[in-house]
Amino acid sequence: MNVRHSMAEVTKLIHKYLRHDKKFPHVWCPGCGNGILLGALIRAIDRTGYEKDDIVLVSGIGCAGRLPVYVDFNTLHTTHGRALTFATGVKLANPRLQVIVIMGDGDATAIGGNHFIHAARRNLNLTAIIVNNNIYGMTGGQYSPTTPYGALATTAVYRHIEQSFSIAELAVTAGASMVARGTVYHATMLDRLIEQAIRKRGFSVVEVISHCHTQYGRRNKLGGAVDMLRWQKENAVRVEKAAKMSEEELAGKFTIGVLVDRDLPIYTEEYRKIREAARSRMAAVK
């Protein structure tokens, strides 16, 4: 299903969800993929039909971490790498709240790597959106855990010699209930992936391939925002199609779509059973 938005609809969404007093202009560079993600996120949330009061948007530190400031939900901008830990507390204190966490690749998988794998394993009903632009953008272009081998960064001027993480595959292995990968080029697909992730009961992850043309692109001579978007278009392969392709055909490409969707016990529901067990034990003592 391809949902297109008329200009009137877009305006309606802007008025409904954006904090237009004082919060703009935003901090992002012109052409950055974060704006496309913000649009996709708002459209996805709108389609799930949640009230603004029911949504808590949590973020870490970095370019993507600034996203919650612009939208009119309960918003929480935490410390670097720790967004999922705050989100865990919010969700456990009030499981009725729909908690969505926005992180960057360095935020989620370097300093926050431990929290990320344990959040996936624990399986609270949370949604983690990880914007992967292969670099630390806000601090000025240092290499991150997803910077490709051989690339250049301000802390890798002689070329990068580490292998990079595949965020989505890491999430699959760590035990997330749903894992998807999208790109900011495939914007309408991104809407749907985020919507599906929010609706998913359990820990869901959406890795969003984005571009940082000012820090990563410029340094690695990948062109401007448009060239980097074209790269996403040309190198993304839908998971369904990739299943039928050979390894040689897939070399240098990456898959987009839903990587895994499975039903696992949800923490808050399991904990409800713990409460019952504890209560009956207390009653027995009395």
**Chain positions contacting ligand SF4, by CB under 6 A:** 28-29, 32, 34, 63, 133, 137-138, 212-215
Q: Is 2 exposed, middle or buried (0-12, 13-18, 19+ CB in 10 A)?
A: exposed
Task: Report the partner that residue 248 touches, choosing among another protein, ligand SF4, none (CB closer than 5 to 8 A by kind).
Answer: none
Distance CA 185, CA 230 (A): 8
Note the residues at the interface with another protein (CB under 8 A). 22-23, 52-54, 56, 58, 68-69, 72-79, 82, 84-94, 96-97, 114-115, 118, 271, 274-275, 277-279, 281-282, 285-286
- Which is nearer to ligand SF4, 95 or 223 (by Cβ)? 223
- Which is nearer to another protein, 52 or 159 (by Cβ)? 52
Distance CA 253, CA 24 (A): 36
Neighbours of 61 (CB within 10 A): 22
- Which is nearer to ligand SF4, 135 or 193 (by Cβ)? 135
Distance CA 225, CA 227 (A): 6
Q: Is 34 exposed, middle or buried (0-12, 13-18, 19+ CB in 10 A)?
A: buried
Instruction: Supply the minimum distance, in Å, between the C-beta of residue 213 and ligand SF4.
Output: 6
Instruction: Supply the minimum distance, in Å, between the C-beta of residue 75 and another protein.
Output: 5
- Which is nearer to ligand SF4, 57 or 184 (by Cβ)? 184
- Which is nearer to another protein, 37 or 174 (by Cβ)? 174
Q: In the chain, what is the greatest distance between 2 CA atoms, to the nearest angstrom?
A: 72
Task: Report the partner that residue 274 touches, choosing among another protein, ligand SF4, none (CB closer than 5 to 8 A by kind).
Answer: another protein
Per-residue tokens: 113? 């790597």
DSSP letter string over 135-178? Answer: EETTTTSEE-TTSPTT--BTTBTT---SPPP-HHHHHHHHT-SE
Task: Report the partner that residue 244 touches, choosing among ligand SF4, another protein, none (CB closer than 5 to 8 A by kind).
Answer: none
Task: Report the partner that residue 212 touches, choosing among another protein, ligand SF4, none (CB closer than 5 to 8 A by kind).
Answer: ligand SF4
